[in-house]
Structure 1
Amino acid sequence: MDKIIISPSKYIQGANVLESIGEYVKPLGTKVLAIADGFVTDLVGATVTKSCEEAGVELSMAEFVGECSRPEIERLMEIANEKGVDVVVGIGGGKTLDTAKSIAFYSKKPVVIVPTIASTDAPTSALAVIYTPEGEFAEYLMIPSNPNMVIMDTQIIAGAPTRLLVSGMGDALSTYFEARANGISGKSTMAGGAPTRSAQALAKLCYETLIADGLKAKIACDQNLSNTAVENIIEANTYLSGIGFESSGLAAAHAIHNGLTKLEECHHLYHGEKVAFGTLTQLVLENAPMAEINEVLDFCKSVGLPTNLKDMGVTEINRDKLMEVAEASCAEGETIHNMPFEVTPALVLAAMLTANELGSM
């Protein structure tokens, strides 16, 4: 199997970097369509407009409404075609960004991704999640290439609710452990090949950064401030985790996250909050050393990530319901089968219950 690593062509990060977006986007094209929802437009629209004017870039703004759905993608594509744009820019949260990726893919235009939060590692990926107009999952859109550019304004991200940054840490927490499992099993990654040493090294650096700077970043974000720790965590949540998961592989933690969506009690949780418990469950599943499990538990508790089912809103342990979670985690095609041993629903149930007890101590 060939070794493959994929990534955005350019990754830019810094405080107030959005003030320079015009100069950064200009090499890709001088006619830009930027999409953002109403809240984000109010937040950054003036900054983006001024930057593009100063750089000699013709900017059109279009409001993203509702869901990353086929009708919304088609509506915004019509605007892009009418304006004759060279570049698509998505500014905001995940659904806005996935819509921008989709428009650019179908229009065969370069895309620039500008997250205003650091809650997942999706911004760097060659993937978009498409929903129905009512908000139900419809399909994954697998895009042949990663975004041309990702721009992270750390001052804006530090001003977002702390829970979003912490959720991003939960998503990033799984990266190293899933990469490690995938490396041992030798299964293909989302990049379509075996992991490179560089991708595995980035996955490990992701975990080391979380342990070193996660709590400090949370405290700074509580004050809506950006500092070195926040900068490091934003990079870990977005770039290190993004390259790590896509080019080093997913395993049990994300599959267990998918299983947890079966529990109505967990529907209020963010993606990374469920992934954090999935990570603890994966470590128990693979019988990791207690020192490693305790390090992950201590980290989760320090930043406020859930470590047990009660933390996630599950007040009653119902083994039948949890077996449904375990069975969904082990569905055909799930990434749990990238683990270096055979995994069954019974093993997942045992691991969840054990992780729940360890996380409740």
Structure 2
Amino acid sequence: MTKKSPQTINHFLAAIKSFYKTALHLKLYKSQNPLIDANYNIAMGDITSLSMRENKPRLPQIAGTEIPTQTSYRRQSDSYFKLVANEWKPSIIADRDLPYIIYRAGSQAGCSLRDEVIIRMLFETGARINEILELTIGDYRQRIDQYEIAAHNKGSEKKRTKFLRFSQDLLKILIRYVNGERKAHAFSKQTFTKLSDNDLIFLTRNGDPYTYRAFYSQWTKITEQAKIKMNIHKTRHWFVTNMIRSIYETTNVSNQIELKKKELINYMKWKDPETIKVYEHFFNEAAFRDIYENMAKKMQEYEQDYLSGSHNLGESNDFSNTSLPAEEVEWINDFYKGME
């Protein structure tokens, strides 16, 4: 199992399959195709030699002149790596303090200003790490709002089809990094306003593009300092969880909630809008816990009143009596029937 999505895995396996087929065809790879199952070959043997006459086409089985093929024979496939009967679901990360734990660990580990900007951008924007590492100065200039930057999306072939929103504090740190640390390491000693649109924002100390592998080594060092194990992609899950929490905290009007959720889906550029339902399920459970705790608290209060004698149950012992509205009673009765 992997934390990658099924679509990503299938694309990856298809690419490997095509690579080896091409390499074998061009005689650049002399070994056996690693996607072919060796155990299958041994078990099945050379079926062709048993069921075909040399230099002659095979006649139909009804003719009765050919050796019958094995009943268990099936056409061999090189698709031996498949995702079967497992549904990928995003992680729910509800710890409000997670970003600050990582920020503090980064400071303690002595991370650079560049890495601080990237990590803060991960948590504040919900972007994928490669979307951030490939940002250019022109991406920032493309947006009208000073707290936004254009970015490519997964599968957009580097086209800027989305934008990232960040805070005023992060913009200040970003400009400070570009005019200071980045300028010291870049080949072109230009400031934020004078850099070319094509200039990458994040560079190594050698002035080269900052790659995922290079950042990952720094991320590992920071998470070890924080004494947690966390994949970089989980910052994206944290962002979504926090955004949905904010939606429910800022309004309780159903149509406004739905509108805000649609805006979040559009911002995240999810191909499947159903993805958000996994996060909603988490908050629905949390809401139920609040309701349950409130009911349990009321029961404790009523119990104390009853034991102290301050509460009178009344002369009638008709426990079917209720003060609920008639339509609610009808709904409850239907609900009971469903439980039977």
TM-score relative to the length of structure 1: 0.25
Rg comparison, structure with higher value: 2
Structure having the larger proportion of residues in strand: 1
